[in-house]
Chains A and B, each alone.
Chain A
Amino acid sequence: MLHKRARLLLTAMLVLFAMSFMTVSAQDDGVFRVAAVAPSATTDLAFSQSMYDALLSIQAEMGEENFEFVFQDGTFVVDDAAVALRDWASSGEYDLIIAHGSQFGSILEELAPEFPEVSFAWGTDVNTFGLDNVFAYTAAAEEGGFINGAMAGLLTKSNVIGVVGPIEVGDAAAYINGFVEGAASTNPEAEVNVVYIQSFSDVPLATEAAQTHIANGADILTGTAQMVVGPIAVAQENGVLWFGTQASQAEISGEVGVMFQVYHWEVVLSDIIALIGEGTMGGESYVLTLENGGLVMDFGQAVLP
């Protein structure tokens, strides 16, 4: 069809005469530029938000004139993230490129060797693929999980605790395993029921899981990933206590919020930025812990006045 052929021709022409993209090297104007891609919304009260908040806090610390960042959220399709990462890498404009999501690891494995002059970081993992321009970061989520679980074990009256988990991987699994251990340590009698709903985002299913827990006697709930919004609402509705992780859910959980393990990636980021400044482009892996200040326990309204 003519118009479609015309389009193809035009495209072919563009391709044939394509200029190579601008090769601007990472600009030497003293401004540190970061590009990050994340799988969910910056307002997800969980994984993506934690990184976004961290970048904002670094910016506040270093000043807007010294630190700029772009953040592509909602990119859960691995392929699309690959496009973004490659685009940023080849533009040469960024000092640090962050792939925030363990599903992006395989992209970096391919991409980083092609752009040795660019520094990459990804999480949550510890694997730097033996490359010297890749940093890795993760969170010892089981630590906060243990604390939450221990508290839950002490606070529960019905001795039934409900956990709503996404998929049994990564820091979600770590948190939940820590939680279960923590509860057992303070209250071996307590029954901790764990449901993995097989999705990070299915809010209705998470909500129903929470309801089911309560129907089975749970008086404390916890969970992780961005679908926890549903269970939090259920907790509020039923006066059931809530423990959270990844970000502070104090505001949304209101009166039933007890404790939250908050990720402070900026602890890791400032270290990475400093290393890049000294010429080290990668090869280090980081773990957020309570000890290094990467994990901080925040309190909800159930505890604070």
Chain B
Amino acid sequence: MKTTSRSAFNPLKEIQLRVWHLVPFMVTLALAFLAVSILLLLFGVNPIVAFQAMWDGAFGSQNTTAETLVKATPILFVAIGITIAFRGGVVNIGGEGQMIAGALAGVAITLAIGESIGFFVVPIALLTGFFAGGIYGAIAGVLKAYFDVNEILSTIMMNQIMVQLMNFLLNGILLDPEAGVLNNIPKTARISEVAQLPRLSVVFGSFQLFDRTRLHWGFVIAVVLAIIVYVLLWHTTIGYRIRAVGLNIRASRYAGIPVERQIVLSMFLAGGFAGLAGVVQVLGLNYRLQTDGSPTGFTGNAGFNGIVAALFGYLNPVGAIFSSVFFGGLLIGAQQMQRELGVPASMITAINGLIVIFVVSSQIFVKIARRRQMTDALPEAEPILETSVEDGMTT
């Protein structure tokens, strides 16, 4: 919280600060693209063509832009949750497992309710998914707060446990009754029409936006929630307490904040949003829950990517919106590169890794810039992943 600079709002200084952030970021991005180009050249791929394909794939048409946003949606949900967790001082690596938990609960209740209450099944399903993910996250929270079990460890374990549980349920009681004798990948029945989140498109005369794409209202829900959580974290008492515990547990305790309960709450919220990511994928995109047999089950790594997106967004939910879209574009665009140029999937993974490394290494320039801007030195508390105090930016 920039308590002092908030009272002296200087637009010129603000712009200067933003531009300062821009320059090193651009330089690093350029370096990243250079490194990627070298990699591409080594394998006989023309980098210019490759990057063109990547951009085309991400934002080149309405369809691809829609796919980017679709990819970004679960990442954003998870990122929101991770932001809360990190701000609250807990490192939640359990996004994958919590997402699955939310999806399982959500699809179960949706199938159970069926069409009996019309579209009211949607909010019920969303809430159920949120609570399921939240409870799963809260378990890790309780283990940390009351049993001193490190949450990184517990959440990694719990991810694997939930994947297996999903395999078990999808092959068992949740299995699609219409799945043929030639049994396929474990999946549930299709949810009814009323439960499906509508596709998001605008058709006005001859003007159309995202028509015939897979973009759905889940994205809008995510963006709205991001803004709400931002307000929650920085403009409410609950948010204050969460952040206080994240910054300094001891001081918070002296201040009378019930630290253990806050930790559980933070994990609950984090898990809840990851759970939402899961149930929204089911209601908005796939209309059923199915797994592909891989360790990431049905999440497609969104739980993982959400963590990176949260950190790229400087642990601010609104920033996470942009970083999630960026990430979505990166992933979708890279696949286009793969399709158009025959670049193997493994190179795409390596490229993703390179970009992440470069972008995250560029933070040092930002830090140096910030240090010069700070006129008053703020006390160095106990950041979890080196999020300095001034990161509570007011966009």
A–B touching in complex (CB under 8 Å): yes
Q: Which residues of A contact B (CB under 8 A)?
A: 1-4, 7-8, 11, 14-16, 18-21, 39, 41, 70, 72-80, 82-84, 86-88, 90, 101-103, 105-106, 110, 114, 124-127, 138, 166-170, 173-174, 198-202
Task: Tell me which residues across on chain B come within 8 A of A168, comparing CB atoms.
Answer: 171
B292–A78 touching, CB < 8 Å: yes
The answer to whether B71 and A11 touch across the interface, beta carbons within 8 angstroms, is no
For the complex formed, measure the closest distance between the CB of A95 and the CB atoms of chain B, giving whole angstroms: 17
Docked CA distance A16–B126 (Å): 31
Q: Which of B182-211 contact A (CB under 8 A)?
A: 182-187, 190, 209
Q: Separation in Å of the A174 CB from the closest CB of chain B?
A: 7
Residues of B within 8 A of A138 (CB): 182
Tell yes or no: B10 within 8 A of A by CB: no
User: Known: A3-B21, A4-B319, A200-B293. Contact between A73 and B184, CB under 8 A?
Assistant: no
Stretch of B82-90, B136-144, B282-290, B384-392 with 4 or more beta carbons under 8 angstroms from chain A? B282-290
Q: List residues of chain A with CB within 8 A of the CB of B326.
A: 7
Q: Indicate if B180 sits at the interface (CB-CB under 8 A).
A: yes
- Among B21, B180, B342, the residue within 8 A (CB) of A127 is B180
Contact of B187 among A106, A126, A173 (CB under 8 A): A106
A72-B338 contact in complex given A1-B18, A77-B301, A169-B171, C-beta closer than 8 Å: yes
The answer to whether the Cβ of B358 comes within 8 Å of any Cβ in the partner chain is: no
A170 touches B63 (CB 8 A): no
A173-B290 CB under 8 A given contacts A4-B322, A11-B65, A72-B338: no
Question: Is the Cβ of B182 less than 8 Å from the Cβ of A167?
Answer: no
**A199 and B288: CB pair below 8 A?**
no
Q: Per a CB cutoff under 8 Å, which of B22, B180, B295 touches A199? A: B295
Q: Decide if B19 is an interface residue (CB 8 Å cutoff).
A: yes
CB distance from B297 to the nearest CB of A (A): 10
Within B325-378, which residues are at the interface with A (CB < 8 Å)? 325-326, 331-332, 335-336, 338-339, 342, 344-346
Contact A126 B182 (CB under 8 A): yes
B8 sits at the interface (CB 8 A): no
Cα(A26)–Cα(B346), bound, Å: 30
Spell out B's residues near A (CB within 8 Å). 15, 18-19, 21-22, 25-26, 59-65, 67, 70-71, 164, 167, 171, 180, 182-187, 190, 209, 212, 214, 285-288, 290-296, 298, 300-301, 319, 322, 325-326, 331-332, 335-336, 338-339, 342, 344-346, 393, 395
Contacting residue for B342 out of A70, A83, A125, A173, CB 8 A:
A70
Cβ of B294 and Cβ of A198 under 8 Å apart? no
Residue of B nearest to A110 (CB): B287
> Which one of A21, A76, A82, A169 lies within 8 Å of B183 (CB-CB)?
A169
In the bound complex, residues from chain A placing their C-beta under 8 Å from that of B339 are 70, 72, 84, 87-88
Listed residue (B15, B287, B293) with the most chain A CB atoms within 10 angstroms of its CB: B293
Distance in angstroms from A99 CB to nearest chain B CB is 12
Closest chain B residue to A10 by CB distance? B59
Once the chains bind, are B290 and A21 in contact (CB under 8 Å)? no
Q: Are B293 and A84 in contact (CB under 8 A)?
A: no
Question: Is the CB–CB distance between B63 and A86 below 8 Å?
Answer: yes
Taking CB atoms, residues of chain A closer than 8 Å to B344 are 73-74
